[in-house]
Amino acid sequence: MSYQIAVLGDRDSVLGFKALGLETFPADTVEEARTTLHRLAREKACAVIYLTESYAAQMEGDIARYKDELVPAIILIPGKEGSLGIGMANIKKAVERAVGADIL
Amino acid sequence: MAGTVVNPTRMELTRLKNKLKTAQRGHKLLKDKRDELMKQFLDTVREVRTLRAQVEAELMRVHGSFTVASALMSGPALESALLCPKQGVDLDMTFQNVMSVNVPVYHYHTRSQSEGDIFPYGFAATSGELDDAVEALGQVFQNMLQLAQIEKTAQLLAEEIEKTRRRVNALEYVMIPQMQESIKYITMKLDENERSNTIRLMKVKDMLLQEALEEQRQRDAQALEAFRARTEQV
């Protein structure tokens, strides 16, 4: 089955990805990003959703809901403002969840 | 053991012993599964960390180029240049089974005519910085997809490890001790029954003997009496 790749974030951050042929979903507010995320996840047309960290910081609960699902994979990418370290922190959290302590 | 009542019967004992054997086997298997999952998980996580650091650094560079490009071009011009992408990406997803966990494997293929020709705009009206940015983005994209794959794998493995760990612990610290306790209780109860049965039999035998002895004595006494009466007559 063929899937799409979505990029969700503020307008400036997602602009470049359009040139690559990815589906871009610019969102001006966190609310908008949240509804778009849920819509994309429900449609299951996107296997991978790249989400900018600045929005992800305020959507933790929404992202956690899809963490254990096979589709979609929500991957955080740094937005225009630079990396906020949330993506790295999430890896740390996954290790803590599996092992019980951060051993790396 | 608190809360559970077991029938102290031989049938229950056999049942529990079989159950314990199964539980111990399951415990061993789950433990092995957990260890192997952990190994895979740690490998994946190490990979994720390095790749994420790399992708983040590259993306920051791309964003930098885009910022410069947007400074050199007007906003609408930039947007219109990127509006109609020449390239399309199709993503195929297959699954790989890692210790009974389905993890995604992504394959993508682009729909552009040629590899180098990804610029969806004419070069005349745009700045060179934009070309750099788009090209750099095209290069980082493959890593981004790889990152998506292994990061999702790590998340799914983490979930499975958590589940397996809980099962192992539940078996090790709750189920198995509980069953051992029950088995011990039943064996003790059965032994106790056995002993009380023996004692009862001994007691009954004693009583029967006592009765027989008494009877014998009475008969002896009667015989003696009869004998004495006869001698007196004579």
Please provide the DSSP assignment of B11-43 as one string.
HHHHHHHHHHHHHHHHHHHHHHHHHHHHHHHHH
Provide the residue ranges of all domains of chain B, joining segments of one domain with +: 10-181
Alpha carbon of residue A6 to chain centroid = 9
Q: Which has the higher per-residue pLDDT, B74 or B176?
A: B176
Q: Which has the higher per-residue pLDDT, B93 or B188?
A: B188
pLDDT > 70 in chain A, percent: 98
What is the interface pTM, i.e. ipTM, of the complex? 0.88
| CA A14 – CA B63 distance, rounded (Å) | 10
pLDDT > 90 in chain A, percent: 0
Question: For residues B186 and B12, is the Cβ–Cβ distance under 8 A?
Answer: yes
CATH domain B10-181 topology: Helix Hairpins (1.10.287)
| Model confidence at A1: pLDDT above 70 | no
| CA B201 – CA B203 distance, rounded (Å) | 5
What's the CATH superfamily of A4-99? ATPase, V1 complex, subunit F (3.40.50.10580)
| CA A84 – CA B148 distance, rounded (Å) | 18
| Model confidence at B26: pLDDT above 90 | yes
| CA distance to partner chain B, nearest, from residue A46 (Å) | 9
| CA B91 – CA A19 distance, rounded (Å) | 16
| Model confidence at B24: pLDDT above 70 | yes
Taking an 8 Å Cβ-Cβ cutoff, which residues of chain A contact chain B?
Answer: 1-5, 12-13, 15-22, 47-48, 50, 67-68, 70-71, 73, 75, 77-80, 82-83, 87-88, 91, 94-95, 97-100, 104
pLDDT bucket at B83, cuts 50 / 70 / 90: confident
Q: Which residues on chain A are in Cβ contact (under 8 Å) with B154? A: 91, 94
Average pLDDT over residues B208-220: 95
Task: List the single range of A60-74, B80-94, B182-196, B218-232 with lowest mean pLDDT.
Answer: B80-94
Q: Which has the higher per-residue pLDDT, B26 or A9?
A: B26
* pLDDT, averaged across chain B: 86
| Model confidence at A46: pLDDT above 70 | yes
Q: Which of B158, B148, B162 is nearest to B40 (CA)?
A: B158
Provide the residue ranges of all domains of chain A, joining segments of one domain with +: 4-99
Average pLDDT over residues B6-22: 93
pLDDT bucket at B3, cuts 50 / 70 / 90: low
pLDDT bucket at B116, cuts 50 / 70 / 90: low
Would you state the pLDDT for residue B161? 93
Verify whether the Cβ–Cβ distance A5 to B138 is below 8 Å.
no
